[in-house]
Amino acid sequence: MVLRTTVAGISSPEDLAQALTGAMYLADDGIATAGYLSLALGKPLLLEGAPGVGKTEAAKAIAGILGRQLIRLQCFEGIDASAALYEWNYPRQMLAIRQAREGETLDIYRDDFLIERPMLTALRRPESTVLLIDEIDRSDHEFEAFLLEFLSDFSISIPERGTLRAAERPVVVLTSNRTRELHEALRRRCVYHYIAYPEPEREAQIIMLRSSAVAEGTARAVVHAVGLLRQEPLAKPPGVAEAVDWAEAATALAQTGASWPEAFRRSLGTAIKDEEDLAHLRPRLPLFIPGLAA
């Protein structure tokens, strides 16, 4: 295992947290430690947590502070190697075969017939990219098994070309919403962090950092309300992104002259996006929005 105590000028979790703050991402101790260890040990970082807690944002921020391009691979059911790794440009290969003159030798497995997909790009340019494998829990077991192979030795076999191995281990961030359990072998290969909803104080800071138009009082009121909403049995509890949207929407409405409780009530759709959840909450709104007439 390669141990690098300093990666891109970052030599401790505190350094990473500070750099992330500079990239507009407020990281707590847990994620800063896991992120630093992932960089130093050269292992992929697996981030799990409810939707909207900032898993993808964390990957973007890490790419930002390393000054690298973020390559995102969005997983879906049925995703396979040709969508993740590489594909040959079949129409062009076919055309080249048709156009080739008699006796001419033609290599249809040249680089210019190869379409790079995210994982191959990350493997070929590990020093300039961060690979984000987003929502791995959406892919099926076949893809997870395939990914396991990639993450264990960072090499890819292209039958026509042989095996490509990364010169150095690329920075890989995986995210999962926990809609299904990931294979233990995948978890073992990663440095793991579960991102919980942030503490109220931190969430208020995040809202103000993301949107300069939102006043501190508004941010605190929104954080208080979403904290209560997350304790309700909702199909889709509001994440951090929803809290930011709600604060912004309420601020915008208040600027048009609406009273604060009214502005919060009318912009509730930015935080709660499920009709059944809204129906469940409607009669009890004054509990979440202080000052709202019952």
Among 165, 188, 282, 284, binds other proteins (CB under 8 A): 188
Among 234, 258, 287, 292, binds other proteins (CB under 8 A): 234
Based on the shown chain and the rule CB under 8 A, indicate whether residue 109 belongs to the binding site for other proteins: no
* CB nearer other proteins, residue 29 or residue 216: 29
* CB nearer other proteins, residue 66 or residue 81: 81
Catalogue the E-assigned strands of the chain.
45-48, 69-74, 86-88, 114-116, 129-134, 155-158, 162-165, 171-176, 191-194
| Residue 243 · residue 207 · CB < 8 Å | yes
How far apart are CB 232 and other proteins at their closest, in Å?
8
Based on the shown chain and the rule CB under 8 A, indicate whether residue 117 belongs to the binding site for other proteins: no
List own/partner pairs for 72-76 with CB under 8 A and 24 or more apart. Answer: 72/118, 72/132, 72/134, 73/117, 73/118, 73/119, 73/131, 73/132, 73/133, 73/134, 74/134, 74/135, 75/133, 75/134, 75/135, 75/136, 75/137, 75/138, 75/139, 75/143, 76/138, 76/139
Based on the shown chain and the rule CB under 8 A, indicate whether residue 14 belongs to the binding site for other proteins: no
How far apart are CB 87 and other proteins at their closest, in Å?
8
Interface with other proteins (CB under 8 A): 1, 3, 5, 12-13, 29-30, 33-34, 36-38, 40-41, 43, 46, 48, 50-51, 76-78, 80, 88, 90-91, 93-94, 97-98, 100, 108, 140, 142, 177-181, 184, 187-194, 196, 233-237, 276
